[in-house]
Structure 1
Amino acid sequence: MKFRNIIKFSVLCFAFGNLSAQNPWPNATNTAQPWTRWWWMGSAVDENGLDKQLTTLSKAGFGGVEIVPIYGAKGFENRYLNYLSPEWMKTLQFTTTKAKSLNMGVDMAVGTGWPIGGPQVIEQDAATKMIVQTYDIQANEKFSDKIVLKDEKQKNLKTVKLDIITAYNDKNEVVVLTDKVSQDGTLNWKPISGKWVMYAVFTGKTLQKVKRAAPGGEGYTLDHFSPDATKDYLRSFDKAFGNSNYGIRSFFNDSYEVYNADWTAGFKDEFKKRRGYDLSPYIKYLVSDNESEIAGRIKSDYRETMSELILHNFTEKFTNWAHSKNSNNTNQAHGSPGNLLDLYAAVDIPESETFGSTKFDIEGLKRNVEDINTKEVPDINMLKFASSAANVMGKRLISNESFTWLTEHFKTSWSQVKPEAEQIFLSGINHIFYHGTTYTPADVQFPGWLFYASTNFVPENSLWPNIKGLNSYIERTQSVLQNGKSDNEILMYWPVYDQWASPKGKDMTFKIHNIEKWLHPTIFYENLEKLGKSGYSLDMISDQMISEAKFENQNIQVAKGGGSYKVLIIPQLNYFSESTLKNILHLAQNGASVIFQSEPKDVPGFFEFEKRRTELQSLWNQIQFHQAGNLKSSTFGKGKIVLTSDVEKALEYLNIEREKLTDTGLKFWRRNFDGGKYYYIVNHTSKEINQNIPLNFIGKQVALMNPENGDFGLAETQNNSVRVKLKSGQSLFIKVSETLDNSIPKWKYIEKTDAPIVLNQPWQLTFKVGGPEFPKSRILTKLQPWTNFTEDASTQSFSGTGIYTTSFKVKKRADDFVLKLDKLYESAKVIVNGQDAGIVWSIPFEINIGKYLKKGKNTIQIEVSNLMANRIRYMDQHKIQWRNYHEINFVNIDYKPFDASNWKVQPSGLDGEIQLIPVYFSK
């Protein structure tokens, strides 16, 4: 076969593979493309600027934006628009109309900055806390002090009031005195004996205001536990929006970061209604450091009540309000004092968050310790709280605020973003929002306006010319992960009562920033880690979800359209609700399989706990276990209940198969589609994996799909395994179908390679796009980064694109040629013989270019874009003002004033060898 025929065949295959009739990739909507949080600084936006930036984002492969107004830049105050003002709403309408013309979506935060609040939050609707004062009183002593709030900051507030006052003596006798205190704080009570301590609980205000608020958005943060406060808050949006949603796809609420909000007006009555008893006689156990059993029970009831209040009085009302606008809502539940699973389940699009940098074993992946926050590491199991709720309840989209503080400013490459995105996908999330992009007016010089905590996904970023590579990868990946539904076989109960029953502290918030305290030390987490690594797929489930679950079609299902599960696991725990056990036994009665890692020890909470404990034990005693090897098993109705500390043994006993492909080190996520299954396979190991990997599901036809370039083809299979070749850092989809499609070509497996052609001839280096000034063009006798040429000072400060150009001859015949870049700082567009051959942006730095080559002389240009870091370093060294914002201004990764003047110069360009490797495919 002549060389030109090989090239012709290659081109034909390329075109053939992109015919829609034979393309196994799902059609990608704009939700499959990445979206970005769009910071409007001071809301100083105008129609020309909005038009330009939306067009730029669209061309770069973004599917939508999420508007969050924040504090503004100094000197631009005359351009500020007040949040929700008529002018602001007119601008919003322009934005959504323009976005629609570009097939982009627009989401919008229900507030500026975070947490939500603003001028519409009057005092009574503001975040509320309990303020506790104690008093000593002796027998027959007239108490002369006034029981009034002493906090100076609260004195001028009209809503402060005494909620509870209860006295305890040294015998622990108790008297509730709330009705013994007159309006002016006079106590009308004298003890007849003993020494007493009185606990007075006042309803006060946290006085917290919105952080990073935009003009027109300043004010108190909201009391999320009050239905009236929620209604009042949303009324201002009703006024601004009228009967229209202005084209907003989804209204967004950021993570709950309301500090010290541990009470609400009417809490005492809500507590009694929900928990069945008056809290007043037990208030000491809630507010003191008493770590007795009774304190743990009271605190458990208190925390459960807080959870119910934020669920019913805020989250559900927020969802209903969004629906009244014919929109969806998006909510970040983490950080709140509630059952995260129920809170995520109560919205249309549950959203999680990644913060910090994960350590991956990928060969060559850059991770400089000085550029990362080593205290904050994203955790895949934390992300699964959001995806679990969505999967169980049948919600199609699960979003993520992605890459917050992935590295220090201006030092994040797209190759570092990719594995972090893959970990998000492997958690079951399928709708990434970059954090983030800042609107910049046309007349603002480099680097434009920037948000203090973002990875800089901005057009001013010197890496922007190659962001389409990253965005296309995410689009293809999410097009699959948004198709069909999750295919997890296991449900694992989250024993939240074990958390709530802790006698330490008072309110309990489940934050992403302190998982080492509430998540990592648990047996629950140990199970998540172990089962995941063993190849099992699971979702978490709450008590509420269990109460709604049914056993149908040989599976456990909670919601129509939600996931179907083969088994429910109850991990080792201390506290378990008798009503939840009753619901589980009902499931088993109808045919469900259930694994208990231990016998439930006790019921949570205080109300009639001895009676409920007896009921729990009685229900448990209904299960008649018999020994089955090293575990206990019981046939319960049509189902089966297994008791063992070894969950994996129980799963084997129940014939629940794990995916053995994880034994290779590969990670996976699996989804069902109509007629088959998708496997998303990722290699985060340091080695290449080139072997047949076993799958639990093979079907009639197996296709491989490469999300980096869109290639696809039929895989080689043997028994129940699929031949896969993945280098360190690569990923792949495996599509297993129950039907045959003979039009799909075979996958091109590389069977052998010839000796590489080393492109060690001279290279020309020129520059385009960037600044502060272009370095001199030069001929390189040895390939090296442009930052090596220290005699030209501009090489040390330039951020932009350098073009390496050379010519070479091809004499060998091969099925294809792989261009391999040894060291790339940081991404590159490859142009071969004047044709765009693609973008190299992720590890391994390789690209197939055979179809662009010709016999004889060939020319190659490698257009390398580097980090923004060197130019920012230059600007700080020369005291060039570029950060001048109100509020926090601009900080580094440790939240200290930002200064790049002492940074080392970041290597930029190409280094090492460039090889052209002839490859041959299997026939």
Structure 2
Amino acid sequence: MSTRTVVLKDIRNIFIGIVLSCLLLNSVPGTAQQLNPWPKPIQENKPWARWWWMGNAVDTVNLSAAMQKYHEAGFGGLEIAPIYGAKGFEDRYLRFLSPAWVNTLRFVLHKGDRLDMGVDLTTGTGWPFGGPQVSTEDAATKLVYRIYRLGKGQRLTEAIRPADQRDKKAVLSEVVAFDGEGNAKILTEKVDTQGMLDWDAPQGDWTLYAVFVGKTGQQVKRAAPGGEGYTLDHFSTAAVDHYLNRFDTAFAEQEIGVRAFYNDSYEVYGADWTPGFFSEFEQRRGYDLRLHLPELFADTGDVRVARVKADYRETVGDLLRENFTERWTAWAHGRHAKTKNQAHGSPSNLLDLYATVDIPEMETFGSSDFPIPGFKPGIKPKSGDKPDPVLMKFPSSAAHLKGKPLVSSETFTWLGEHFRSSLSQFKPEVEQCFLAGINHVFYHGITYSPQDVPWPGWLFYASVNMVPTNSWWPHVRGLNTYITRVQSILQSGVMDNEVLLYWPAYDIWDDPKGGMKSLTYHNVEDWLHPATFYRIARALMDEGYGVDFVSDRLLADLQADRGHLQSPGGNRYRVLLVPAARRMPLETLAKIKEFAEKGIQVVFEQLPEDVPGFGNYEQRNRLFKQLIDSLSSATNIHVTPDVVSGLGKMKFMGEPLVHEGLRFVRLKSGGKTIYYVVNHGKEDLDKWIAFNTQSRHVLLMDPQQGDFGWCNAKIQGNQSQVHLQIRTGESLFVQFGDQSSLDGLPRWNYREALDSIIELSNAWKLSFREGGPQLPVDTQLKQPIYWTALPGEAYSSFSGIGVYETSFTLDAIDRAGRYDLVLDDLAESARIWVNDEDAGWIGSVPYQLDISKYLKQGKNTLRIEVANLMANRIRFMEKNHIKWNDYHEINVVNIDYKTFDASGWDIQPSGLQGNVVIRKYRLR
């Protein structure tokens, strides 16, 4: 047969195949789109990662190779964060925003387009914002003051200067004298250029307050080359504009193409002032703060002091929101980019800051304890920081209220000790993010490292080392696939929370002690945990209520609509809960009453006591009392000391599934109600579960393996009952819709009973690949044991992939049954191959995997590729004084920020141990 004849025959066969495919698809209308209900992944469905550029020592060859690896591992995007560099590589450094650096950024953006990977960029280097373009005038500013005392007829004989020599460059702003009755005289104009005051004290004793504009002196932390300099004054529009102008100059008029500009958690230490603050204060609060300096600088329990300080703190928050966050966001929009911001740490209302940007972002710091049997907790810092589900709901609440589709998280900051954090810790920790309404995960993080740098490559001092040199990197795609499936659903709809919980931020500001209030992750036990708000938020979540938080500003944007609170973002809430609040603005209370009169159910734990602040207090207090008195006769307002039980008395019940040890979030999408359900409890669950919705048509979707199928619900009253089988450590989507949404989909297979246990009794082969410091020799085993239990340092020091292989025979295959591979103990994750087909990933409890479709009658082969931690290899290097940790500014430190030393670590168990069996179930 000629070549031409073969080609024509192939073309004919291809044409016939296409025609038959089209006829087949057309014969079942709609089936093509519905055969797989998982959305086709887009960039933002996949996990992203912060991408540390150490010293900006980047080049196109290594960048291209690295991005290809990230893409193959299932990453959807990267967030470039330039920082300090490795020693000995200074000749490779690129100065931040230099033409060479900008060209390299453009290369990364083009490469990202080819790989379908997005790119974000922090607007600076290290943190917080700052750099060489920040002059002393534009630098972070602090309030400095000094007190002088004079009697009748006395005058100052010394120049007015700050008491602390470290503040000697602070500029005098105001001098105000107060007599014993609190009467004030502004003396600023009587001070000459040498700081001498031309004033004799009149009758009585006088206290002089000299106020200076000082500078914190803070430099950019962990700055990259070209990013060194003072930290920015975030409260000054001029300073912010000057700062951003450097980026305009570097990028010129060309389109950059980053998806979003990013700002890390607010860590501007000691900055509590800005030039012109007195004027800004008077415009916003209605009185002259200079006349109340004794209250501002006091530290007593006086109510008046607390009120003045509350006004000061509110003004600081306003300036941060307006002059930095809003201005920076407008600048980014002018460059066709979004903003992504972490508000925690700020001296401002966190909800309002999150609402200002395009992508609100939280951070998870430390590790959680889960009661999941077999869960291996991480090593915790002595500080005790750990992820807090209530704190994580601040960004998601703002996003839901404002209709922002993405809520991100800097995930796994200090999840555990370096080299000892496992993928099995990642999964429940990231699920806790999802349960808080976060739907766009950023790992913390990936450190760029050139290919010629020896193992372990360059590493960031506070990261979980999500790097290709990590021994479990070959298994990252398994976790990424799970996260992608979850996020593809969570991003597809609108969160369906019914309860809106008011956050009494003014109770935090109304405090006579201290100065500015920074709401940091590391002091939640001061500003969050003691609050009634926190107790109620936890109780609502524990009782199965979907809850978002609302600030005074965000509450003002809501509308009453047919018994629901309608947010600008499209979310609708059935009830507004108000915790016990000492202070509430008059406008907020009036708005709440208006809502109640329009049919909104409002539940107070107790009525607020008074308005916050000092300005025009008498009039505001009088109107507030009148409004409080009128609430007694207002409809739809309920006052109860137990607001959660009060909801029950109103016949408004939470989701009952939480009483079965499950956690959930609920969303609406295209007429469907979708629950993401997670079992972080102690026991497997196999029973009928009630949901607060009414539909008989249910789609179950397993994000672990991607399985899906329909089942029927039972309607009981106003609830749907669904049979769920969900092991501890597993999650499930439960989607309620109509019959048409299930057309063409298979029925969900329930495990009915354990039919048999297939023991794998043949010998095992253990071999090694992809690791070091050397590959141990292959060995034969009667049954799987940890390779670290074998004699010899080659086994105990190895970090990488160990491959356990065996074979077994099945006399018959029951295609109507289910076969689950079950591992006794795994250290730390595994990729499973059955008959040379990739059957999936086991990376967290439960160590089980459905392998039914890969089995065959007769002889079968099983290959379990196990990845351990980096710990044993690092231990070997430390014991043998092999240098790997040599950076400018800071080396890799341990979890308590002490000198890192792994030489005394115990050998970390590695590999597979115990019985490996196949459990066969009958299905129905």
Q: What is the TM-score of this pair, normalised by structure 1?
A: 0.95
User: Does the CA-based 8 Å contact 1:243-1:325 persist in structure 2?
Assistant: no
Q: Does 1:355 align with 2:365?
A: yes
Q: Give the partner amino acid of 1:688.
A: D
Q: Give the partner amino acid of 2:610.
A: D
Deviates more, 1:280-289 or 1:425-434: 280-289
1:161: Cα distance to partner? 1.9
1:548: Cα distance to partner? 1.5
SS in 2 for 1:576: coil
Q: Which one of 35, 43, 48 corresponds to residue 35 of structure 1?
A: 48
Q: Give the partner amino acid of 1:238.
A: D
The corresponding residue for 2:24 is: none
The corresponding residue for 1:750 is: 751
User: Does the CA-based 8 Å contact 1:763-1:804 persist in structure 2?
Assistant: yes
The corresponding residue for 2:893 is: 891
Q: Which one of 635, 642, 645 corresponds to residue 641 of structure 2?
A: 645
Distance, in Å, in 2 between the alignment partners of 1:477 and 1:373 is 33
The corresponding residue for 2:871 is: 869
Distance, in Å, in 2 between the alignment partners of 1:316 and 1:475 is 31
The corresponding residue for 1:185 is: 195
Q: Which one of 614, 628, 646 corresponds to residue 622 of structure 2?
A: 614
Distance, in Å, in 1 between the alignment partners of 2:528 and 2:812 is 58
User: Does the CA-based 8 Å contact 1:125-1:222 persist in structure 2?
Assistant: yes
Distance, in Å, in 2 between the alignment partners of 1:390 and 1:837 is 38
User: Does the CA-based 8 Å contact 2:298-2:512 persist in structure 1?
Assistant: no
The corresponding residue for 2:155 is: 142
Q: Which one of 75, 83, 96 corresponds to residue 83 of structure 1?
A: 96
CA spacing shift, 1:176–1:738, aligned 2, 3 Å? farther
The corresponding residue for 1:273 is: 283
SS in 2 for 1:714: strand
Distance, in Å, in 1 between the alignment partners of 2:518 and 2:711 is 48
Distance, in Å, in 2 between the alignment partners of 1:813 and 1:831 is 18
SS in 2 for 1:96: helix
User: Does the CA-based 8 Å contact 2:35-2:744 persist in structure 1?
Assistant: yes
The corresponding residue for 1:776 is: 777
Distance, in Å, in 1 between the alignment partners of 2:618 and 2:687 is 58
Q: Give the partner amino acid of 1:206.
A: T
Q: Give the partner amino acid of 2:764.
A: W
Distance, in Å, in 2 between the alignment partners of 1:392 and 1:700 is 30
Distance, in Å, in 2 between the alignment partners of 1:164 and 1:734 is 64
User: Does the CA-based 8 Å contact 1:760-1:914 persist in structure 2?
Assistant: no
The corresponding residue for 1:126 is: 139
Distance, in Å, in 2 between the alignment partners of 1:903 and 1:562 is 53
1:793: Cα distance to partner? 1.2
The correspondence of residues 199-598 of structure 1 with structure 2, limited to 5 A, is 199-367=209-377, 369=379, 372-373=381-382, 375-559=384-568, 561-598=569-606
Deviates more, 1:738-747 or 1:396-405: 738-747
The correspondence of residues 19-168 of structure 1 with structure 2, limited to 5 A, is 20-155=33-168, 157=169, 160-168=170-178
The corresponding residue for 1:668 is: 664
SS in 2 for 1:286: helix
SS in 1 for 2:130: coil
User: Does the CA-based 8 Å contact 1:520-1:526 persist in structure 2?
Assistant: yes
User: Does the CA-based 8 Å contact 2:496-2:666 persist in structure 1?
Assistant: yes
1:738: Cα distance to partner? 3.4
CA spacing shift, 1:170–1:624, aligned 2, 3 Å? closer
Distance, in Å, in 2 between the alignment partners of 1:293 and 1:807 is 78
1:86: Cα distance to partner? 0.3
User: Does the CA-based 8 Å contact 1:818-1:848 persist in structure 2?
Assistant: yes
Distance, in Å, in 1 between the alignment partners of 2:779 and 2:347 is 61
SS in 1 for 2:832: strand
Aligned residues, how many? 889
Distance, in Å, in 2 between the alignment partners of 1:244 and 1:455 is 36
Distance, in Å, in 2 between the alignment partners of 1:49 and 1:341 is 40
Distance, in Å, in 2 between the alignment partners of 1:449 and 1:743 is 50
Distance, in Å, in 2 between the alignment partners of 1:213 and 1:399 is 24
- Cα deviation code 1:564-622 (max 9, x no counterpart): 11111111110011111112222223222211111111110001212211101111222
Deviates more, 1:829-838 or 1:28-37: 829-838
Distance, in Å, in 2 between the alignment partners of 1:537 and 1:917 is 37
Deviates more, 1:711-720 or 1:574-583: 711-720
Distance, in Å, in 1 between the alignment partners of 2:507 and 2:521 is 18
The corresponding residue for 2:827 is: 825
User: Does the CA-based 8 Å contact 1:126-1:220 persist in structure 2?
Assistant: yes
Q: Which one of 714, 718, 743 corresponds to residue 710 of structure 2?
A: 714
1:189: Cα distance to partner? 1.9
The corresponding residue for 1:8 is: none
Distance, in Å, in 2 between the alignment partners of 1:729 and 1:750 is 17
Q: Give the partner amino acid of 1:600.
A: P
1:150: Cα distance to partner? 4.3
Q: Give the partner amino acid of 1:798.
A: F
The corresponding residue for 2:799 is: 799
SS in 2 for 1:756: strand
- Cα deviation code 1:735-775 (max 9, x no counterpart): 11134323111111100112312224321111111000011
| Percent sequence identity over aligned pairs | 47
User: Does the CA-based 8 Å contact 2:813-2:856 persist in structure 1?
Assistant: no
SS in 1 for 2:45: coil
Q: Which one of 682, 692, 695 corresponds to residue 691 of structure 2?
A: 695
The corresponding residue for 2:12 is: none
1:841: Cα distance to partner? 1.0
Gaps of 5+ in 2: 1-27
User: Does the CA-based 8 Å contact 1:244-1:325 persist in structure 2?
Assistant: no
SS in 2 for 1:774: coil
Distance, in Å, in 2 between the alignment partners of 1:245 and 1:388 is 33
Distance, in Å, in 1 between the alignment partners of 2:49 and 2:32 is 30
The corresponding residue for 1:13 is: none
Deviates more, 1:279-288 or 1:504-513: 279-288
User: Does the CA-based 8 Å contact 1:357-1:373 persist in structure 2?
Assistant: no
SS in 2 for 1:475: helix
Deviates more, 1:78-87 or 1:856-865: 856-865
1:441: Cα distance to partner? 0.6
The corresponding residue for 1:629 is: none
SS in 1 for 2:665: strand
SS in 2 for 1:516: helix
User: Does the CA-based 8 Å contact 1:463-1:867 persist in structure 2?
Assistant: yes
Q: Give the partner amino acid of 1:93.
A: R
SS in 2 for 1:380: coil
User: Does the CA-based 8 Å contact 2:397-2:549 persist in structure 1?
Assistant: yes
Distance, in Å, in 2 between the alignment partners of 1:506 and 1:426 is 35
Distance, in Å, in 2 between the alignment partners of 1:670 and 1:423 is 14
1:372: Cα distance to partner? 4.9
SS in 1 for 2:536: helix
1:153: Cα distance to partner? 3.3
Distance, in Å, in 2 between the alignment partners of 1:434 and 1:675 is 33
Q: What is the TM-score of this pair, normalised by structure 2?
A: 0.94
Distance, in Å, in 2 between the alignment partners of 1:568 and 1:827 is 45
- Cα deviation code 1:295-351 (max 9, x no counterpart): 100110000000100010000001100100011111111101000000000000001
User: Does the CA-based 8 Å contact 1:351-1:399 persist in structure 2?
Assistant: yes
**RMSD value, Cα:** 1.6
User: Does the CA-based 8 Å contact 1:373-1:407 persist in structure 2?
Assistant: no
User: Does the CA-based 8 Å contact 1:390-1:396 persist in structure 2?
Assistant: yes
